[in-house]
Structure 1
């Protein structure tokens, strides 16, 4: 389509013709094949001597062909290749990415964190089976790298479609962060959120960003819709969920392109496709072709050669032009500046999502909606590092909050001390009682009389015995020679013969 419209519609390369050679780099199952892409690139270079490559789109295929293209000094224009590694200008000198890239998504996340003062930590959870082109891994790595570069602690966890992984995800969220980015197929995301609702008692303290760049979950503006009859009130937990998508162009040229694209797909390939954000990627390929043609025309106008791939590539750096996908701008690494949309639950009753903001990748700013807003469950954005939740980040919390083992140890120690003191007191009491029980000199209270002994007849022997030195109550001197004064208070009434 771009080649057909190049001269008559865009007025580029008038008087020149472009020969296109089409190849598929997929295997028999329709999966991207890195080895096949390399072989096609080498054979094409050897037998056809191309001036440029358009595609492939898959990351690993772009990487392998891109190294060859840079070595041959041939431009490689693609709307794929989202991975962060392609910013390496030494290894990939001639790659031009006219589609979205992970670094631009990372820039968007950075602006979001600055907006809500999330400067400490975040977590990243992505689906990764490591048997395909790993789209969710490469899409999310930009957030990890950009936030890390800004001294934000970012912990990442890959997962697969298994109940054991989902349980691990919930534990990971509890232990590592409150600002969460999840990238994976919609069905796995719903499973995560269902378990999240049953296991997390305070969902209002979380902000969950679902990276659904093609808006697959927003077909009815209700990403919580599911067929699980046992899931009660999913709307409640989704109040903490925001969705990030690519921003669909709203210019009239894009709508015309989209309509023509669907007609050609049906006519040329007998494929019926519905409008979606996938069309945006096709539009990026279209604009990439036009961008190359403009750079080639400028090179030829200055006396250059169509084989001067380095010069042509450099002309596409920091470029700005209007394409079918709207304003197209590139950076110094020949990567397109990408726009994104931010969606949130704007109707708390029906659970319908609305557009609350969009990110302008060219100006690196967020434009907030004048009619819709984020309804945070707590009335304000959650904290990324709540006090005393992640103790490793806040050592002062250790003074007032002991870990569970510490509490158990202190409690056990106090119990042992109390038991020891109690045992000692009981033992001491029993010992004293035993000693008192063995003292034969003790007399009973009722054996004492407090009246004059003259009322009772007594034997002289008894009086003599009591009057001996040291025995008389009126004695002024003890057996040790120390003076003490005693007063008579009572008399022991037992007779001498009774002793």
Structure 2
């Protein structure tokens, strides 16, 4: 339980977040009307009316608009020269190589929304620069590589410098090592990190304030290279915090080093292994890690005695059992079957977390593991599961979900007597294709079978503020990272989580400086991030006392008319309860008006004494036309 002072600190810091988001987003809203939100072609989330009045942040935007007519004193810096090289971490800004070349200040008056700008930090000799090390895999084509998350990190650092560090005459400077990729065409950025485009996009003119050293990016999720890069950042640049890595295999050794160095480390991911992506079983990674993690019911990195300075901003697999338990409570289900693909690391870790968690609640009645790489008798697994439960969790790779559902259709298990569930964190080939449509002769049957499937996914933010943020990330990714989001690619939850993570670090550093604390005491700063609530770009963020986020999830159901998965309910981490979406309902298959009963009338084997002699045994002989 946070102390009274801690609660006051949280509230004080919380008040800064929407204001900062407002100030930055306001200058963009005024000069650019974003395109309408389009529904994802496979998963449908309710569209939002992009009005500044729709959220608390939007209301603050309106308040700022009301006050924009008065004469305000903002400053526009015009460059006289080029910035010099970055200085040592924690160095003063005068005469030590970390200062920027001088410029003159023009006083301007802001009278309209379109001209409203963030007041830039005025360069003088009294600032101190501290380096923040960014460790992100590049060109991995994952949902959380540098090309996607880098813009969010840049934006968050700029906001922290503007809103939190400025009053302390402190500046955070991103540090990475020089890139090994010659095709980025980012010479201006790689050589000086003069993040000019970002400032122009946000209406911040004049001298750049984000300096950095040369950087080196790694193109694989490597547990062998990431410690060396982290050591370079620690010993050569004296970083006061690490942002990333994202992938578990690179994060694990770096988090241990950060613990030893007493340096905070924040990641927008945490314990998320891939499925059917670059990191496959054939790479040997599963073999090296499965002995450590496959029987860990708490999930990767949950034991913070080994990672005492690690804060995870996305979610912990350890809480998926709470999401599923909330669904089971909602529909009165207490007999659950679980099928796990042990050849797929994501499916294995999710499955093992569910296995141990649901067994503790005495819900799990049947567990089987299979090797998804082999030609196994899927129908046999389903028949075995039916003898113990009518609710079946499929913790298997995406391609196997379709095979299981087609087999369930062939066995007559999709007519309303059974419910199936799976986990798709969000739609990405990195975790396999969980969709029914493959363009083959089985599409019609697959679509029909998926009507018996409920899906659990992370709640993707859809607020107007997040949509504005997403537009800026897309623009900066193209300008600064030479990456273009494809047409239907979302600015996913993890990208927003990295933004929130950097801002959380800024709030903790701000508190430390306000209290006269040591900005290099990583353990103390980390504890200021734990047990904290704030409103971030992804919505309400709650970091528990163990440094893990209580994430929100969506429960999706296939609409039999559109063939798309629709959000029908949410699980909110702060309440840990199933919350139906108003105006939405689950389409139970077979024309049912409600869920299947936990136990069939005649029992799972048709042996209930009340049914003896009436022949009511589930018939697996059904074959669809």
Q: TM-score, normalised by structure 1?
A: 0.69
Judge conservation of contact 2:340–2:348 (CA < 8 Å) in 1.
Answer: no
The superposition leaves residues 228-266 of structure 1 with CA deviations (integer Å, 9 ceiling, x where unpaired) of 214554343222111222112133321121111111111
How much has 1:104 moved relative to structure 2?
2.9
1:108 equivalent in structure 2: 323
Equivalent position of 1:297 in the other structure:
510
In the aligned structure 1, how far is the partner of 2:489 from the partner of 2:351?
A: 21
Match of 2:170 in 1: 16
Q: Counterparts of 2:510 and 2:240 in 1: how far apart (Å)?
A: 13
Which residue in 2 is equivalent to 1:147?
358
Within a 5 Å distance, the mapping from 1:394-409 to structure 2 comes to none
CA distance in 2, matches of 1:330, 1:4: 23
CA shift in 2, pair 1:214/1:291, >3 Å: same
**Which stretch has the larger CA shift, 308-317 or 99-108?**
99-108
Partner of 2:236: 47
What is the aligned partner in structure 1 of residue 340 from structure 2?
Answer: 125
1:417 alignment counterpart: none
Structure 1 position 71 matched with structure 2 position 285: no
Structure 1 residue 12 displacement after superposition: 6.4
Q: Is the alpha carbon distance of 1:365 and 1:190 closer, same or farther for their aligned partners in structure 2, counting shifts above 3 Å?
A: same
Aligned to 2:500: 287
Note the C-alpha offset of 1:162.
4.2
The equivalent of 1:457 in structure 2 is none
Question: Which is helix-richer, 1 or 2?
Answer: 1
Correspondence for 1:358 = 570
Secondary structure of 1:77's aligned partner: strand
CA 1:65–1:390: 2 relative to 1, 3 Å: farther
Q: CA deviation at 1:8?
A: 2.7
Structure 1 CA distance, aligned partners of 2:259 and 2:218? 29
Q: How much has 1:349 moved relative to structure 2?
A: 4.1
Asked if 2 retains the 8 angstrom alpha-carbon contact of 1:125 and 1:180, the reply is no
1:179-211 CA distance string (max 9 Å, x none)? 222244433322332222223456522211121
Structure with max Cα Rg:
1
Structure-to-structure mapping, 1:343-354, within 5 angstroms: 343-346=556-559, 348-354=560-566
What is the CA–CA distance in structure 2 between the aligned matches of 1:7 and 1:75, rounded to whole Å? 18
Q: How has the CA–CA distance of structure 1 residues 76 and 120 changed in structure 2, closer, same or farther, with 3 Å as cutoff?
A: same
Asked whether the 8 Å contact 2:266–2:501 carries over to 1, the reply is yes
Which SS does the other structure have where 1:367 is aligned?
strand
CA distance in 2, matches of 1:110, 1:25: 47
Seen in structure 2, the aligned counterparts of structure 1 residues 110 and 36 have a Cα distance that, compared at 3 Å, is same
Maintained 8 Å contact 1:127/1:185: no
**Is this contact kept in 2: 1:157–1:169, CA < 8 A?**
no
Tell me the SS of whatever aligns to 2:162.
coil
2:401 is aligned, of 172, 189, 201, to 189
Q: How does 1:448-487 map to 2 (within 5 A)?
A: none
Deviations 1:325-353 (A, max 9, x none): 1221111111111111111134x344443
The unaligned stretches of length 5 or more in structure 2 are 1-153, 182-215, 273-298, 614-625
Shift of 1:320: 1.1
The equivalences for 1:238-387 within 5 A come to 238-274=450-486, 276-277=489-490, 279-346=492-559, 348-377=560-589, 378-386=592-600
Look up the SS of the partner of 2:224 in the other structure.
helix
CA distance in 1, matches of 2:320, 2:407: 27
Q: Deviations over 1:91-141 (max 9, x none)?
A: 221110011221232221111111112223331434634xxxx33333444
Q: Name the CA distance, whole Å, in 1 between partners of 2:508 and 2:579.
A: 32
Offset of residue 304 of structure 1: 1.1
1:90 to 292, 305, 326: 305
1:354: how far off?
A: 2.3
Rounded to whole Å, the distance in 2 between the matches of 1:295 and 1:359 is 28
Q: Using the TM superposition, name which of 300-309 and 371-380 deviates more.
A: 371-380
Q: Is the 8 A contact 2:533 2:541 kept in 1?
A: yes
Question: Unmatched 5+ residue regions in structure 1?
Answer: 402-499
Highest RCO, 1 vs 2 (Cα 8 Å, sep ≥ 6): 2
**Cα distance in 2 for residues equivalent to 1:167 and 1:138:** 24
Aligned mates of 1:128, 1:118 — CA distance in 2: 29
More deviation, 197-206/89-98? 197-206
Q: Does 1:34 align with 2:249?
A: no
Aligned to 2:347: 136
- Pairwise CA distance, 1:177: 3.7
Would you say the 8 A contact 2:457–2:555 is kept in 1? yes
Distance across 1 between alignment mates of 2:218 and 2:242 = 24
Question: Within 2, Cα distance between the matches of 1:199 and 1:216?
Answer: 30
- Aligned in 2, Cα 1:126/1:29: closer, same or farther, shift over 3 Å? farther
Deviation track 1:34-75 (CA, whole Å, cap 9, x = no partner) reads 121223233433333322211111123222222222222221
TM-score (norm. length: structure 2): 0.56
User: What are the residue-to-residue correspondences of 1:220-239 with 2, within 5 Å?
Assistant: 223-230=435-442, 232-239=444-451
The CA distance in 2 between the partners of 1:12 and 1:180, in whole Å, is: 54
Contact 2:337–2:385 (CA<8 Å) still a contact in 1?
A: no
| Alpha-carbon separation, structure 2, partners of 1:375 and 1:295 | 46
